Structure 1
Amino acid sequence: MPEQVKLRDGTDTWVLALEPSDRERLVAGFEELSDESRRQRFLAPVSRLSEAMLDHLIDDVDGVDHVALVLFAEGPPHVYDPVAIARIVRYPDLPDAADLAVTVKDDWHGRGVASALLPVVIRRRPEGVTRILTEVASDNPASLAMLRRLGPTKISNTTPGVWDIEVDLTAHDLPQPIPLAVVPPEELDGKRLHPVLDAPGRHALRTRDLICPWLN
């Protein structure tokens, strides 16, 4: 069902589920992402979307283990454009954990789009998922802060430029986000937070957020 939310500046938005019919529009929308946005989402240079990536981004969405939502924001009065996508994907071998990503169209950065969309996708997460296990570029403080708002967070610097992140979604009292700079060094032990983050083929899982679904 569509869900109405407002950005912090009062902009009206609607959140809808991603549909298989959106495949071709995703291909076109990917071209609108800047090189930096692609790097932060893929954690590697990606110039185009392969058929395998599209299969995962669109065809694998089942609304059960792979949930994808699109946020449409009002630009001109009564005109709504797709400006962001959020995905939450359960790990096949770890049913209580899921990967999570939000991609926001470049010219909508800084307006609280991800902050508005994230609570919706968390509410609609796969049943039984109690934690997020993911990776974030270490120079992407906005994503780190966004994840910390969801619950108690563990961070590990296992790969140069990339952080392992685990978020407990079961806490009722959410912690206040803190800057990465004040995380105690003993929390950054350089060990993988879970073997699933090293699983073969995980690159395909990462690609869920590389796409911007600006479904014009």
Structure 2
Amino acid sequence: MRVLRAGDTALLVEADDLATAHRLNTALRDEPIPGVVDVVVGEQTVLVILDPSADLDLLAARLPRLRLPESAGGDTEPVEIPVVYDGADLDEVADDTGLSREEVVHRHAAAEYTVAYLGFSPGFGYLTGLDPRLHVARRASPRTSVPAGSVAIAGPYAAVYPSRSPGGWRLLGRTGLRLWDVTRDPPSLLRPGTRVRFVPEGSS
């Protein structure tokens, strides 16, 4: 991995791959280093935000020597997200992929996902592991408002909208599970490295 300065109070770690980025994130969160204020995982990068009084050079030298866990998820069970597959774009995804509506649902629910990173809005996890047959482009015209709990796909990712927001992802269904709750500690149900499964509840 390579460690670069990112301004006066942060270091950007370029990891070898996404799994290494997740393992570094887990190491920094499970055993906090004095001077580290926050950790933000990207796609193969980890931004380490520091206290202004921290010694950047000292921490930059220490990060590559950290002992990383074998995996970010450990032996924890996947987070199960119940889904009613009645999304507005389900038929369109079936047409685009040449699959039946039932096969789209089966392939989406059969996969096991991993949270690559969080972004776009609080608690919005970009999930890897989507069946390649379901890799479809975003909508040409994004919706101005997507309801919270909408289960969606776009490109190689799956996701759940944690709050009402604009969005152009293809909607397959919905869940009543709250992915972002400010009264919960931590507020986000998902974190980088978390494994996820979608469990069909039925459709209408």
Normalised by the size of structure 2, how large is the TM-score? 0.27
Structure number with greater Rg is 2
Normalised by the size of structure 1, how large is the TM-score? 0.26
More helix by share: 1
